[in-house]
Structure 1
Amino acid sequence: MPAFSLEPEQTAWCAELRTLAAQRLRPLAEKGEPGHVNRALVAELGRLGLLRRVFASGALDLCLMRESLAYACTEAETALALQGLGAHPVHAHGTEAQRTRWLPAVTDGTAIAAFALSEPGAGSDAGALGLAAEREEDRRGSEGDDAAVAEADGHGRWRLTGDKCWISNAPEADFYTVFARTTPGAGARGVTAFLVPADRPGLTGSPLQMLSPHPIGALRFDAVPVTGDDVLGEVDRGFAVAMGTLNLFRPSVGAFAVGMARAALDATVAHTARRGAFGGTLSDLQAVSHQVAEMALRTEAARLLVYAAASAYDENAPDVPGRAAMAKLLATETAQFVVDTAVQLHGARALQRGHLLEHLYREVRAPRIYEGASEVQRSIIAKELYARQEATE
C-alpha cells in the first residue's frame, strides 16, 4: 500500500477514533489527577477494544490510532501508548505463562504496564545500563543448594540491584519490563529483559514532578528476586528486545506528534480566518498566511514519513531502524515548530491555562527526548547511511 494513501476504511476509522476520543475519552481524562495513572481512562480504552488492537495490528494501525487519539485527547493517546510500550516485550518475547498472566489484564485495562529502560546514568546510551542482575550462585557460592537446584532445573536466579529513572507509569504500574545487566563489561550484549511484578520484595518507587500529565517516576531495586521464569526472550539478549520494541514505537511517537501538530494547525487556521486585524483578518496578512502554509507543509511531510516508516516495519524491510529514526525525528521536531507557531499566532490567549495550545505546548516538548532524543535519532540515521556505503564498497 502506498505510504501516502489510506484506504477509505482507514480514513473512516480515524474519524471514528477522533469522535470517540472527544466524546468518551476526553471527559475521563479531564477527571484524572495529573501525575497519576488514570485507571478509569485506561479501562475505557480496554472496553473500546483499542488496547487489544495495539497488539493485534501492525505498526501503521498503531500510528493511525495514536495520531487520531492525540488530535482530540493527548491523555488517552499516552495511556494507550504506555500500555503498548510496557507490554509489547511480553507479547513479542514472553512465555505462554507470562502472556496468559498479564496480556488479558493489559488489554482490558485492569493492569498497568511500564517500560523500565532508562537510568540516572544511562538514558540515550542504553548499552551502558548499570542495574545489576547478580546470579544467586555468585552471591552464595558455587556450593550453595539453591545454585545447584537452579542449574539442575535450567532456571537461573538473580537479584536486581540499582536504579531506574524517568519511567512512565512508575511508581503506579502493576508490572515493569526491566532491562538489567547480567554480564558485566559486555555492553549491549550483556543485558537481559525481565518481567517484574510491582509487588516483588525490594522494589520501591517514587514519583517525579515532571512537565507531563501522566506519572513518571524512579524505581529502586534492592536485591529484587527474579528467576528464569521472569526472563523475556533470552538471557543476555535483552538489548534486542528493547531495540525491537523501540523500532515499533518510534514511528508511532511521530504519529503522536503529528496528531498534536494537526490539532494546532486546524486551530490556527480557524483562528486566523476569523480574527480581525488591521481592517481585515489575520489570514489576509501574508506574514501570517505564509506561516500557516509552512505549518501545513511540515505537518504533511512528517505524516507521510511516519506512514512510510510504519509500512516499512509491517513489511519487515531491512532499513526499519533508519526509517523509524527519521520518522520520530522529523515528526517531533515539526510538532514543536507547529505548536510554537500556533501559540505565536494566537497571542496571549494561547497561554491561558486550559487553552488547547497551552496544553499542547506542555505536551509537545517531551517526545523530542524520550524513546531516543533527537540527537540519538540523527546518530542512528548517520550510522545506517555509512553502513550502507560500506556495504557497497
Structure 2
Amino acid sequence: MADQSFLTWPFFDPHHRGWADRVQEIARGLAIDHCDPDQACRDLVRQLGDAGLLQPTSDENGQLDVRTLCLSRETLARHDGLADFAFAMQGLGTGAISLFGSKGQKAHWLPQTRSGQAIAAFALTEPQSGSDVANSTMTAIRDGNDFVLNGEKTWISNGGIADVYTLFARTGEAPGAKGLSAFIITPDLKGFEVVGRLDTIAPHPLATLRFNDLRVPASAMIGQAGAGFRIAMSVLDLFRPTVAAAALGFARRALDEALTRVSERQVQGAPLFDLQMVQGHIAEMALDVDASALLIYRAAWAKDSGAARITREAAMAKLFATDQAQLIIDKAVQLFGGDGVRSGMAVESLYREIRALRIYEGASDVQKVIIARQTMAAHMEGR
C-alpha cells in the first residue's frame, strides 16, 4: 500500500482526501485488457465516466481544481498507466473548451466527455513543430462563414478513437505565436484522415492525422482569432502538474514494489534490505518521491488559490517529478535483478511507461529553458 501520509499536508482540503480515497477504491476494480490499447481506452473512459471519476476533468465555469486532477492521475497511474492516460486526455482534450469555450461549446461537449460518452483529444504537435508551437504550419483559411483547414498533426493521443479534437492552426493574424487559433474538430468531417498509427514502447492510442480542405464553421473556433498560442499555453500550464502527478504515481508504485522485493528476497540467509547499499537506494527513492510530491502539490495549490499563471511552478514540478521517477523506477528494476526486465512484471511495465512523460507536454530540456527564463524575469523585475 502506497504511503498516504502526504494527504495530511496543508495543501489539501477535506474533500481532496475523500476524493483520493474514492479514486483508490474505484481504481482497484477497473477491468483493463491491454491486448488492444484502443479498445482498452474506450472501455476505461466508459468505466471512469460511469463511476463519476471524470467529473473533475472539465468545468463550464473554467474552474478546474488542479489538486483533484493531480490526485486522480497519481492514484490511477499507480494502478495502471492506461487508466491514467484515459483520464488525463479527457481533461487535456477539453481544457481549452473549459477555459475559453463559448456557452454553446461547453454545453454540447463537456457533459459528454465527463460522462464518458465522448472521447477527447488535444491536437497541437506537428511533424516539424513539437515543443516549438509557434512554428506550427497547419493553416485555417477564412472562407466566408467557414474556415478551411490543411496540414498534419502527429503524436496525437487518442488519435483515431477520439470523438472531439481541440486543434490548433495558423489563421495568420500575425507572424509566429500570435497567428494561431484553436478549433473544435470532429472526425466525421470531410477531409479528416488518420494516415498512420504510432507504436511505442508503452502502447497507447497515438496517430498522425491529415486535414485536406477540411471545412468547419467559424463557430468551431475556441475563443478569439489569433489567441491559439495563449490558449494552448494556458491549458499546458494547468495540466503540466498533472503529468508530474502521473510520474509520481508510477514512482510510488515502483517504491512499493521495491520495498516488497527487498523485504522478501533472501541473500545469504538475510533479507536483501539488510544490505546497506540497498538501504541507500530505498532512502534515495523515498526522498525523491516526497520531493516530487511537494513540488507538484505546491504548483497545484498555487493555481487553485488564484494564481493567474503557474508557468515556473508547473515546469519545476514536471521536470523534477518525471526525471526522478525515471531514476526511481530504474532503481526498482535493479533491485529486482533479472526479474526486473521480465515481461509482465510491474517494474518492467513502469520502466516502459515512464519514459514518454519526460517528453510530452514539454520535454525536460524545454522545462529547463522555461524555468531559467522565468527565474531571470523575476530577478529583473525585482531590481
Amino acid at match of 1:160: L
**Which residue of structure 2 lines up, in the alignment, with residue 116 of structure 1?**
123
What is the aligned partner in structure 1 of residue 186 from structure 2?
197
- The aligned counterpart of 1:38 is 41
State the Cα distance separating 1:13 from its structure 2 match.
3.3
Does the aligned pair in 2 maintain the 1:70–1:256 contact within 8 Å?
yes
Q: What is residue 180 of structure 1 aligned with on the other side?
A: 169
Query: Which among 246, 267, 284 is matched to residue 236 of structure 2?
Result: 246
Amino acid at match of 1:310: A
CA displacement, residues 284-334 of structure 1 (integer Å, 9 cap, x when unaligned): 000111111100000110011000000111123256100000000000001
Mapping of 1:91-240 within 5 angstroms? 91-136=98-143, 147=144, 150=145, 157-183=146-172, 186-205=175-194, 206-240=196-230
Contact 1:18 1:71 in 2 (8 A): no
Matched residue type, 1:16: R
Indicate the larger mover: 256-265 or 14-23.
14-23
Question: Aligned partners of 2:102, 2:21: CA distance in 1, in Å?
Answer: 37
Kindly provide the amino acid, as one letter, of the partner of residue 235 in structure 2.
T
Distance of 2:380 and 2:8 partners within structure 1: 30
Query: What's the CA shift for 1:181?
Result: 0.5
| Match 1:258 to one of 229, 245, 248 | 248
Match of 1:153 in 2: none
The answer to whether 1:19 aligns with 2:9 is: no
Moved over 6 A (4+): none
Larger Rg: 1
Q: TM-score scaled by structure 1?
A: 0.91
Alpha-carbon distance in structure 1 between the residues aligned to 2:305 and 2:238: 12
Displacement of 1:32: 5.5
Separation of aligned partners in 1, 2:21 and 2:264:
25
TM-aligned CA deviation for residue 283 of structure 1: 0.4
| 2:43 maps to 1:48 | no
Report the Cα distance in structure 2 between the residues aligned to 1:285 and 1:213, rounded to whole angstroms. Answer: 36
Cα RMSD (Å): 1.8
For residues 341-377 of structure 1, the C-alpha deviation after alignment (integer angstroms, 9 at most, x for no partner) is 1000011112121111111111000000000000111
Secondary structure of the 1:235 match is: coil
The answer as to 2:65 corresponding to 1:58 is: yes
Aligned match for 2:338, one of 316, 338, 348: 348
363, 370, 380: which one aligns with 1:390: 380
Residues 248 and 321 in structure 2, CA contact (< 8 A), matched pair in contact too: yes
Give the aligned residue type for 1:370. Answer: Y
Q: Distance in 2 between matches of 1:82 and 1:70?
A: 13
Moved more, 36-45 or 370-379: 36-45
Q: CA deviation at 1:51?
A: 0.8
Q: Residues 295 and 99 (structure 1 numbering): CA distance in 2 closer, same or farther, change over 3 Å?
A: same
Q: 1:3 to 1:179 in 2, by over 3 A?
A: farther
Picking from 358, 362, 367, the partner of 1:368 is: 358
**Please, which runs of 5 or more residues in structure 1 have no aligned partner?**
137-146, 151-156
More displaced stretch, 7-16 vs 91-100: 7-16
Structure 2: tracts of 5 or more residues without a match: 1-6
* Alpha-carbon distance in 1 for matches of 2:18, 2:120: 30
The Cα of 1:37 is off from its aligned counterpart by 5.6
Equivalent pair of 1:36/1:214 in contact (CA under 8 Å): no
1:67 alignment counterpart: 74
**Deviations for 1:136-163, whole angstroms, at most 9, x for unmatched residues?**
2xxxxxxxxxx3xx4xxxxxx2211110
Query: What number of residue pairs does the alignment pair up?
Result: 372
What is the CA distance between 1:386 and its match in structure 2?
Answer: 0.9
Among the aligned pairs, what percent are the same residue? 41
* 1:5 Cα offset (Å): 5.0
Q: Structure 1, residues 164-184: CA drift from partner, whole Å, max 9, x if none? A: 000000021111100000117
Q: Give the whole-Å Cα distance in 1 for the aligned partners of 2:321 and 2:173.
A: 37
Shift of residue 34 of structure 1?
2.6
Q: Does the CA-based 8 Å contact 2:263-2:273 persist in structure 1?
A: yes
